[in-house]
Copies of this chain bind each other. A is one copy, B any other.
Amino acid sequence: MSTQEEHPTLLIPGPIEFDDAVLQAMSHYSESHVGAAFVSVFGETLSMLRKLFQTSNPASQPFVISGSGTLGWDQVAANLTEPGDEVLVLHTGYFADSFADCFDTYGAKPTQLKAPIGDRPQQDAVEKALKEKKYKLITVTHVDTSTGVLSDIKSLAELVHRVSPETLIVVDGVCSVGSEEIRFDDWGIDVVLTASQKAIGCPAGLSIVMASGRAIETFKARKTKPASYFGSWKNWLPIMQNYEAKKASYFATPSPQLVRALHTSLTQILASPLDERFARHKEVSQKIKQTITSLGLKQLAEKPENQANGMTAIYLPEGIAAAQILPNLLQKKVIFAGGLHKEIASKYIRFGHMGVSVMDPRKNDIDRALDALKSGLSEAGYQAP
């Protein structure tokens, strides 16, 4: 039974619906951030993140810091680049532009490799770019929340290892960790950054990062100070290592409530094999995409291999605007998101299908949402083929 007040089902690409136990952890009574009980919970949370990211290399380093997913960009730019460093940013939507802006803020030189809307840079283009210049790191948005475009991290990592092995591989996994397969060690990734409120299933407010031993070594070898104070690994690295060793430590006050909620959601996620979780997200996503297609609608990500498993960005029929269909869906107790890609924002909607809405067999959020979409479009005058 849910303890949550009745409310419209939130099916945007984050924040997602949360499990009751996770929300209950949010209201945990106040406790000291350096008290034994919280130190233990924080330490376990960091260790569980290793499992979520599928890394057993002890040199890998998790970070959990109060902030949003965006703070992960600052952590990468301020700790892993120094002024003048060249960075290759693969562009699949809104978020690459912002990540590039973040690099520029800290003095690195981002080069964006773009693809048409709904597509992603192809392997040969990436290979060509990597051969033209020495890049300190390459970034890729695993799932771009603005377009629903999925990148192929495994193949990309193989390419980088072959063509430019010294280039660090940074994955923006804000909209993928927990819904898309990520094998940190096997694929040889250097950083995955993410946030709490998407497929990880914990309310917003935490920046979550996994860094490889090689990333940490790169950080330690830097010639200049980290270019951020709040995001500085110099400040946070000893704190994270101490907490994971169950020793209290202080740089800035963490949020016991948010960390307890994260602990709860990670415990739930790790109770089943991760492969089952990813397979289930894929299965539900396929069903959604088939329904969308059968309705005669197109996705921003046209090619199947470009389609994320935790969200779907859907072009609306000609003559129907997002501002028209979204309030209709809200009346049907379903919340989708509007478009975020500047050029076409009013022409599409985004449907998030991650976490408990997909995994909890007691919920039928997805079927309800598809029904709402069908009748909403029909009420707007659209006739499916």
Contact = CB atoms under 8 A, between A and B. Distances in A.
Interface in A9-44: 10, 12, 14-18, 23-24, 26-35
Given A33-B15, A228-B74, A229-B101, A253 B66 contact: no
Contact of A30 (B18, B104, B252): B18
A363 interface: no
Contact of A32 (B12, B251, B256): B12
Contacts of A225: 104-105
A254 B196 CA distance: 11
How many copies of this chain does the complex contain? 2
Contacts of A104: 225
Contacts of A33: 15, 204
A317 interface: no
B29 A229 contact: no
Interface residues of A, number: 61
Interface in A191-230: 195, 197, 203-205, 225-230
A106 B230 CA distance: 11
Nearest to A205: B255
Contact of A68 (B68, B73, B226, B254): B254
Contacts of A101: 229
Contacts of A232: 105
A71 interface: yes
Given A203-B257, A204-B255, A230-B74, A27 B29 contact: no
12 contacts: A4-B29, A10-B30, A23-B27, A24-B27, A66-B66, A68-B230, A69-B253, A70-B251, A74-B228, A74-B229, A203-B258, A258-B258
Q: Which 10 A-B pairs have the closest CB atoms?
A: A205-B255, A70-B252, A68-B252, A23-B27, A102-B229, A26-B26, A204-B255, A27-B27, A105-B229, A4-B29
